[in-house]
Amino acid sequence: MKNHRQVFQNEQKNRGRLLITCPDQPGIVAAVSQFLSNHEANIIESSQYSTNPEGGDFFMRIEFECPDLESKKSVLREEFDTIAQTFSMEWQLFFVKELKRAAIFVSKELHCLRELLLEWESGDLMADIPLVISNHPDAKDFVESFGIPFVHVPANKNTRQEAEQQQLELLEEYDIDVIILARYMQILTPAFVEAYSEKIINIHHSFLPAFVGAKPYDRAFERGVKIIGATSHYVTNDLDEGPIIEQDVKRVNHRDQVEDLKKNGKIIERSVLVRAVKWHIDDRIIVHENKTIVF
């Protein structure tokens, strides 16, 4: 079977991405473009956003092609830092060939996990998935059928610290860049969240900020809602209040029971989570305060 990731890495070996946040002022775009031009880089895609041209914040994402990029990595970082200091930038430089390494956390509901692994197998989710961690054994056979290690780490409110210590050791061992909570039904401790700040992506089965927490479909049914939704967001210590990455909705009516809402909700959840993960691994998201800019 063709290894989609190896083909991608070979094709993208000279592709880089810049993410920039700074106070808005004249000359930013010109300085960045000139810097890339000086290194024979060709801009493939450029997106920018300003909260207010007079005294606001400026955000920018540039994707570029640069000959012999591998040999220029350290020089690019060193020389761009001078520009960054001039404009008080927060910036990140990514090399597309270096795929992000994602760990998936899951409990008993497997629909989001299935969607992620099928997208990964087809080459439409361009990341490495070195392992799946679960507090239940239910997903073991399915995960291992993809050749991905499955690790069962029992976790509940009484064993949370011990479980998280084991999880953190696994994440370090496998050199994980991003954690995907694919309906992982455990609350993470502040220490765990801090260790992977802005690198934990969750799917919540509600159109936030409505119905935060457990059993949102039951509460939506009780309120007689006419629209159900799902929200993917970065995890913070405030439950279901992290920066929102993506959302979607579906109309329902008075004939739909709780199980109907859950069935339709699963369809929304898996597509919303996959889109959010793809945007993260494609370096399309800048987190600013408690919001996201998604290019």
Number of structural domains in the chain? 2
Mean pLDDT of the chain: 94
Same domain, 89 and 138: no
Same domain, 106 and 82: no
Query: Is 240 assigned a catalytic role?
Result: yes
The domain that contains 224 carries what CATH number? 3.40.50.170
Give the position of tokens 């993960």.
277
The domain that contains 69 carries what CATH number? 3.30.70.260
Choosing from 61, 95, 129, the residue where a domain stops is: 95
- 240, 248, 282, 283: the active-site residue: 240
Same domain, 148 and 236: yes
Listed as own residue / partner, the contacts of 78-83 with beta carbons closer than 8 Å and 24 or more positions apart are 79/35, 80/18, 80/35, 83/31, 83/32, 83/35
Same domain, 77 and 105: no
Choosing from 41, 75, 95, the residue where a domain stops is: 95
pTM of the prediction? 0.93
Confidence at 93, pLDDT banded by 50, 70, 90: very high
Is the predicted pLDDT of residue 2 greater than 70, yes or no?
no
Pairing of the two strands 200-204 and 178-181: parallel
Q: What is the pLDDT of residues 148-198, one digit of tens each?
A: 999 999 988 888 889 999 999 999 999 999 999 999 999 999 999 999 999
End-to-end CA distance of the chain: 33
Measured CA distances, 199 to 50, 151, 196, 209, 260 (Å): 24, 20, 5, 21, 32
Q: What is the DSSP string of 143-181?
A: HHTTT--EEE----TTTHHHHHHHHHHHHHHTT-SEEEE
CA distance 184 to 255: 30
Same domain, 221 and 140: yes
Share of the chain above pLDDT 70, in %: 99
Same domain, 16 and 147: no
Choosing from 95, 122, 150, the residue where a domain stops is: 95
Confidence at 1, pLDDT banded by 50, 70, 90: very low
Same domain, 205 and 165: yes
Q: Is 40 left (phi over 0), alpha (psi -120 to 50) or beta?
A: left
Whether residue 269 contacts residue 112, with contact meaning beta carbons closer than 8 Å, is answered with yes
Same domain, 57 and 113: no
Same domain, 131 and 49: no
Same domain, 223 and 275: yes
Q: Is 268 left (phi over 0), alpha (psi -120 to 50) or beta?
A: alpha
DSSP code at position 188 = P
Same domain, 74 and 138: no
Q: What is the pLDDT of residues 103-159, one digit of tens each?
A: 999 999 999 999 999 999 999 999 999 999 999 999 999 999 999 999 999 988 888
Where in the sequence is the domain holding 274, given as residue range(s)?
Answer: 101-294
* Tokens encoding 157: 């409110």
